[in-house]
Amino acid sequence: MSCAEAHAGVVQQIIPFDAVCSYPLVAYRDRQGMGQTCVALS
């Protein structure tokens, strides 16, 4: 996820690759390869 815009979203949790983010959070792959981040978009 690009952080080009101020306050585009807030990371709520980091989850494993085989897990699913709860609604309405959006999953983005972690650049460090640790899992996925669940982001609340603003």
Mean pLDDT of all residues in 13-26: 94
**What pLDDT shows up at residue 4?**
64
Instruction: Tell me the pLDDT band of 38, cut-offs 50, 70 and 90.
Output: very high
> Which amino acid appears at position 36 of this protein?
Q
Q: Once rounded to an integer, what is the mean pLDDT over residues 5-13?
A: 81
Of residues 26, 33, 23, the one with CA closest to residue 11: 26
Q: What region does 33 belong to: left with phi over 0, alpha with psi -120 to 50, or beta?
A: left
Contacts of 12-16 spanning 24+ positions with Cβ under 8 A: 12/38, 12/39, 12/40, 13/37, 13/38, 14/38
Residue spans per domain, the chain = 9-41
Structure tokens at 15: 């989850």
